[in-house]
Structure 1
Amino acid sequence: MKKIEPAVFFPAAILVFAGVAFAVFAGDTAEALFISLRDTITETMGWVYTIGVGIFLVASIIVALSDWGRIKLGPDDSEPEYAFAPWFAMLFSAGMGIGLMFFAVAEPITHYLHPPEGMGETVDAARESMVLTFFHWGIHAWGIYVVVGLSLAYFTYRHGLPLTIRSALYPLIGDRIYGPIGHTVDTIAVLGTLFGVATSLGYGVTQINAGLNELFGLTISAPVQVVLIAIITGMATISVVAGLDAGIKRLSEINLYLAIALLLFVFLAGPTLFLLGAFVQNLGDYVDQIAFLTFNVDAYGDGGWVNAWTLFYWGWWISWSPFVGMFIARISRGRTIRQFILGVLFGPTLFTFAWMTIYGNSALREAIAGSPVGEAILDTVRDGNTELALFAFLNGLPLSSITSVAAIVLVTTFFVTSSDSGSLVKSTLASGGALHPPVSQRLFWAILEGVVAAVLLLVGGLAALQAATIAAALPFTLVILLAMGGLFRAWSVESQRKRGMKTAAQLPVEGAAMPWRTRLRLMFSRPKSSEVDAFIRDTVEPALKEMASELDKHGYITRVEREEGKSWLTVEYEDSPPFVYGAETKIYDEPHFPGTQEDEDIEEGYARAEIFLSEGGQHYDVFGYSKTQIIRDVLRHFEHHLQWLYHLVR
């Protein structure tokens, strides 16, 4: 395992430390520079974010509905590593977490007070506020994550490339991904991830501070928030040491269960029937306006609202995409492309819509009615204290002290999982794609994340964090577009492979060497694993060596390799994917069908000699074949492979 990729780790670390030092020693200048940079990017390059996010979403949906959706993120015989529930929990916690807590009440109320068009504090403004909230938190964000996550999962698990952003560019630039271009791409990804997560941590800690002020009178100030960052970053390091399954997975499940419990309480304690109707209304309005909102850059106006809201969100989601994309790729091995896209696009989105409806519409109802709770919520937003909006809303429900504590705990656990997950991703990038980067490096990035969030909060508050996020997202938008091009090129090649397999001539495997009664008897046999191992060693491997020897005479580069219970032939090509054919011992539970015999000595089940190719297992058994029959089977698949290469040449 590679512990560090110097060409990524050191440039990323140096740039971060340089930025932190500049912010510390030239605070006023740094704040002005951050905000000026944000304004320049949104005013001159905002259309890049808009068109890019639209392309990512449309492309994701088209791919999910195409034949490419059947391709697995891994060998053809691979199965999902995680069941749907823990997979969804980790998706949700990594992708949205802290932001949902901060904006669930604050954003709808802000749009209600200050809509992009028309009068504020009206029923129309309330209705539009929920559409805009859905738009910013809906499938557009997850469409970005889909493209990045899919690129990483496909090239890592299907083609054995490193789990790094650079791997997505392999179909476009080949082995140059291992040079300066690849190092630059991964460095940009590290920086984008760090600033994106730091922004979320900034929102999270301001809300924790607000909750503690509401409950215990703790002062709301930047120094207090820095102390809170230090404490919670320390908690995140414990999760870092625990690892993915023991740390992130368990915390993510706790997050999801606690979030669902709090959501159900608000739903049942609030205007339940109204919320059911509002959800349907919000969903319909969202679908009705989605095309207009997707490509709206306010070209005929001053662009102020779009720049302040939509472009900030797109920059935030893009800067998060290396982090979330790599994380969901890490947990999605074995799923089909269709399962991946539909699960990532619509699972968390529907939950998010339910969350925003239950919190946002409940708060809007109070605001429209002019109740004391509604006025309190409006006052917090009017005064710019958006982090207090959630707690002002909870104060109007029963058991407000308990729900406020639960909200603080939930923000804290989201904080920890975001920090830990972000550290895992940056460590993976900075170690050349290691699936299990060293704990020391993960600790380094977890601490540095907290330092960056603290410094930017001290320098310019959330405005500085937002500015850094938007700036970091611009170059990565171009990287994602290139990665998407690489994906389409790779899938086109894979489609050609399948066409080649269909059009190649089919060579008979059986021949006359095996009497039909012998073959029937083999169908009902239950060999032990030791017998299958011996068959692979004594029959399959010699057949592969004989085939390799003959191919060597024709100028091919071949090798036959062996591991315990497994032998395979590889035929290398200079500029094309290799041909792989092998057999391995697979053990299954005892079959229960007529013709099988009872055998109390077989406790392990029964074994099969199953064939595998470069794209994965083929699910058929060759135990009992003769050497000649094995060679015939190799020839059949080799001809399929050559036919595919002919398609590539054409």
Structure 2
Amino acid sequence: MSMEEDMIPEQSVSDYEVGQDNVQRFGLDYHNPVFPISAGIIILFVAFTLMFPAVSESFFGWLRPALTSTFDWLFLTAGNIFVIFCIGLILSPLGSVRLGGKDATPDYNYFGWFAMLFAAGMGIGLVFYGVSEPVSHFQSSVQGTDWAPLGGAAGETLEARRLGMAATLYHWALHPWAIYAVVALALAFFSYNWGLPLTMRSAFYPVLGDRIWGWPGHIIDIMAVFATLFGLATSLGFGAEQASSGLSFLFGVPDTMTTNVILIVVITGVALVSVVAGLDSGVKRLSEINMVLAITLLAFVFLVGPTMELVRGFFGNTVAYFRELVPLSMPFGRVDDNYRTGWTTFYWAWWMSWSPFVGMFIARVSRGRTVREFMTCVLVVPTIVSIVWMTVFGGTALTETIGGYTGIIDAELPVKLFAMLSQLPLTEITSFVGIVLVIVFFVTSSDSGSLVIDTITAGGKLDAPTPQRVFWATFEGLIAIALLLGGGLAALQGAAIATGFPFAILLLVLTYSTLRGLIRERRRPFLEHVDTSRTAAAE
């Protein structure tokens, strides 16, 4: 298909009858066959995992290393393409395209918009890994022929510290947000500018044409549902483990699998209340509360911790990150296999499995922004916030570790945040705030995810019946429970990689499709002028 034949759909959303394949039954309004196939497979998965946890543990224990060691090059290459694509849009004339048309205005102010972006994007991950990952890389994980070993006596040098922070920031700065931005832009653009339903299949219209209404589109949406559910379940499992560890650290609550399961059940119940309240009353309000809590905890650690060292660290870490960005990004480079497959590949798969959820959620709240404004805010601003967060929490932890405190190194992964806070004043209060932060991130991720999945399985409808959102929020919690019981963190990570792998290929096609659509949109005024001139001449 040539670019001239790559036409914008002439119909509107109403003409497509978004719900033409929908079934209205028992108070539900769901898309057939996306909803029944997705729901059926998810129910069977949860039942099998709970009935045969040993088999599940063995399977997921094999799956993660098998995929990461074989396809690490694919994940890293795809991540690099997404970053280049996003930066290219910021700098190119395509950045002037406005989501929703030239007269569209934003639905949310900047604070509310940023709060929802950040809470949905990676809140739980930053809290979970903010202390542990910098310390891990500082100790030993980034090693290779060209890298100074980060451990032993050399580990106490400034350069080793910055290398450890650069290795951490690589996973939390440009690349993950580029993955989210690509999906979010595609969904927002094709929905608001081309009048297509707000669902994953719409982003492939320039490539598939009207075939998106058939089985190719059904398969894309079903894959998006699976990726979203398992990506969310991974984060919810991490959040439950950290909240459980925090409660044990503060109040002596037994840190057991039973506690984790109870937490998931209780917090999923809270998420259901927010789901019923809707996007503006529930998700937006919780996101803003969480933003205030996160800023408060960040400011406290910054002020009572090694403040001047953190200020210097922010600039030093940023320079180190950009200095090492290319070497760390190479699929076959000087970084050792443990870092590339054990860390980077898992992260990229996790972000890609999250991308339908985060992308659609960002798209729903981003009407009225230009592509340039959208990409700058979704890519650059969160990157700066991530650098600040990791510098403050990771930098404070490294200072404590270099100073001789071994509690962070000795602590289990979910406890490391609380071990770091134990060396600062008001430990009980800050640790409690940390637990609340994880729980509210848990809730906002769950209810945001259920809203997104419900939109996909309702054929793009934004006002599907509440019971459907309740169904998906419930099963997000059940999948997290099933994976924890069927292998713990390894099962959670394995599930994220399993869904992220096919999505990596799908997102590369989506990027090409979005580029074609934006070029067509940019040329639309010229083509409309040509068509009008030809009509006038013919008359």
Q: Do they fold alike, i.e. is TM over 0.5?
A: yes
Deviations 1:138-191 (A, max 9, x none): 110000011100000000000110001100110111111011000000000000
- Name 2:15's counterpart in structure 1: none
4+ residue segments displaced more than 4 Å: 640-643
Distance 1:176 1:641, change over 3 A: farther
User: Which residue of structure 2 aligns with residue 453 of structure 1?
Assistant: 480
Q: C-alpha displacement at 1:119, in angstroms? A: 4.3
- Provide the alpha-carbon RMSD of the alignment: 1.5
Q: Percent identity?
A: 47
Query: Larger deviation: 483-492 or 101-110?
Result: 483-492
Q: CA deviation at 1:126?
A: 2.3
The question of whether the paired residues in 2 share the 8 Å contact of 1:297 and 1:306 is answered with: no
On the 8 A contact 1:323/1:422 being kept in 2, the answer is yes
- Are 2:410 and 1:379 aligned? yes
Q: Aligned to 1:137, what secondary structure does the other structure show? A: coil
Q: Contact 1:115/1:125 (CA < 8 Å) preserved in 2?
A: no
Counterpart secondary structure, 2:348:
helix
CA–CA separation in structure 2 for the residues paired with 1:171 and 1:339: 24
2:121 alignment partner AA: G
- Counterpart contact for 2:150–2:164, Cα < 8 Å: no
Alignment-derived partner of residue 359 in structure 2: 325
1:184 aligns with 2:244: no
What letter corresponds to residue 62 of structure 2 in structure 1?
A: S
Match of 1:343 in 2: 377
Task: Pick one of 255, 258, 263 that aligns with 2:293.
Answer: 258
**1:195-594 map, 5 Å:** 195-298=230-333, 303-370=337-404, 374-380=405-411, 385-500=412-527, 504=530
Higher deviation after alignment, 492-501 or 276-285: 492-501
The number of equivalent residue pairs is 501
Matched, 1:63 2:98: no
The answer to whether 1:31 aligns with 2:66 is no
> 2-side partners of 1:8 and 1:331: how far apart?
24
> Could you tell me which amino acid in structure 2 is paired with residue 252 of structure 1?
S
Give the deviation of 1:112 after TM superposition: 1.7
Output the CA distance in 2 between the equivalents of 1:170 and 1:255: 37
Residue aligned with 1:77, SS: coil
* Residues 330-367 of structure 1: CA deviation (Å, up to 9, x unaligned): 00011100011000001111111101100101110111
**Residues 559-617 of structure 1: CA distance to partner in whole angstroms, max 9, x if unpaired?**
xxxxxxxxxxxxxxxxxxxxxxxxxxxxxxxxxxxxxxxxxxxxxxxxxxxxxxxxxxx
Structure-1 separation of matches of 2:535 and 2:123 = 49
* Distance apart, 1:262 and its partner CA: 0.8
Instruction: In structure 2, give the amino acid aligned to 1:494.
Output: E
Distance 1:441 1:27, change over 3 A: same
Residue 4 (structure 1) shift: 0.6
Deviation by residue 1:289-312 (Cα, 9 ceiling, x = unmatched): 1112112445x7872331110000
Closer/same/farther in 2, CA of residues 640 and 73 from structure 1, 3 Å limit = farther
Over 3 Å counting, the alpha-carbon distance change for 1:284 and 1:302 in structure 2 is closer
Structure 2 residue runs of 5 or longer lacking an equivalent are 1-18, 23-28, 144-148
CA displacement at 1:6 relative to structure 2: 2.0
* Letter paired with 2:254: T
| Paired position in structure 2 for 1:639 | 532
Q: Supply the distance in 1 between the matched residues of 2:520 and 2:124 (Cα, whole angstroms).
A: 40
Counterpart of 1:336 in structure 2: which amino acid? T
Deviation at 1:483, TM superposition (A): 1.1
Residue 49 (1) aligns with residue 84 (2): no
Return the TM-score normalized by structure 1: 0.75
1:496 Cα offset (Å): 3.0
Q: Is the 8 A contact 1:109 1:363 kept in 2?
A: yes
2:208 corresponds to: 173
TM-score by length of 2: 0.91
The one-letter amino acid of 1:375's match is T
Q: Which amino acid aligns with 1:273?
A: M
How far apart are 1:233 and its partner, in Å? 0.2
The structure in which a higher percent of residues are strand is 1
Matched residue of 1:96: which SS? helix
Aligned to 1:98: 124
Verify the 8 A CA contact 1:5 1:430 in the aligned structure 2. Answer: yes
C-alpha distance after superposition, 1:359-397 (max 9, x if no partner) = 101110111111xxx2111211xxxx1111000111111
Structure with the greater alpha carbon radius of gyration: 1
Secondary structure of the equivalent of 1:160?
coil
Give the SS at the match of 2:340: helix
The structural deviation recorded for 1:466 is 0.1
User: Which amino acid letter does the alignment assign opposite residue 362 of structure 1?
Assistant: T
Letter in 2 for 1:20: V
- CA distance, structure 1, for counterparts of residue 75 and residue 535 of structure 2: 42
CA shift at 1:68, angstroms?
A: 0.6
Contact conserved, 1:94 with 1:418, CA < 8 A, in 2? Answer: yes
Q: Which residue of 2 aligns with 1:8?
A: 34
Classify the secondary structure of the residue corresponding to 1:224. Answer: helix
**Aligned counterparts of 1:171 and 1:155: Cα–Cα separation in 2:** 10
- Residue in structure 2 matching 1:83, options 109, 124, 127: 109
Within-5 A mapping of 1:592-611: none
User: Structure 2 vs 1, CA of residues 444 and 274 (structure 1 numbering), >3 Å: closer, same or farther?
Assistant: same
CA-CA distance at 1:26 after TM superposition? 2.1
Equivalence for 1:605: none
Q: 1:150 aligns with which of 181, 185, 189?
A: 185
CA distance, structure 2, for counterparts of residue 425 and residue 292 of structure 1: 36
Paired residue secondary structure (1:437): coil
1-structure distance, mates of 2:299, 2:121: 21
1:22 aligns with 2:86: no
Contact 1:262 1:406 (8 Å CA) reproduced: yes
- CA shift in 2, pair 1:301/1:386, >3 Å: closer
Q: CA deviation at 1:498?
A: 3.3
Contact 1:4 1:431 in 2 (8 A): yes
Structure 2 counterpart of 1:52, which letter? Answer: A
**Aligned with 2:367: secondary structure?**
coil
Greater relative CO, 1 or 2 (CA 8 Å, sep 6+): 2
Cα distance between partner residues in 2 of 1:115 and 1:38? 18
SS in 2 for 1:78: coil
> In the superposition, relative to structure 1, how do residues 421 and 274 fare at CA in structure 2: closer, same or farther (>3 Å)?
same
Unaligned runs of 5+ in 1: 505-637, 644-650
1:501 CA displacement: 5.5
| 1:102 partner letter | F
Cα distance in 2, alignment partners of residues 13 and 97 from structure 1 = 27
Distance 2:224 2:206 in 1: 19
Q: CA 1:155–1:365 in 2, change beyond 3 Å: closer, same or farther?
A: same
Name the structure 2 match of 1:633: none
Q: Report the Cα distance in structure 2 between the residues aligned to 1:397 and 1:240, rounded to whole angstroms.
A: 36
The code of the aligned residue for 2:215 comes to P
Q: Displacement, 1:640?
A: 5.5
Shift of 1:256: 0.5
Aligned in 2, Cα 1:244/1:641: closer, same or farther, shift over 3 Å?
Answer: farther
1:512-538: CA deviation from partner (whole Å, max 9, x where unpaired): xxxxxxxxxxxxxxxxxxxxxxxxxxx
Quick check: 2:64–2:490 contact (8 Å CA) kept in 1? no
Aligned counterpart, 1:564: none
Q: Does the 8 A contact of 1:501 with 1:641 survive in 2? A: no
Q: Does 1:133 align with 2:26?
A: no
Deviation at 1:493, TM superposition (A): 1.8
Matched residues in 1 for 2:237 and 2:72: separation? Answer: 24
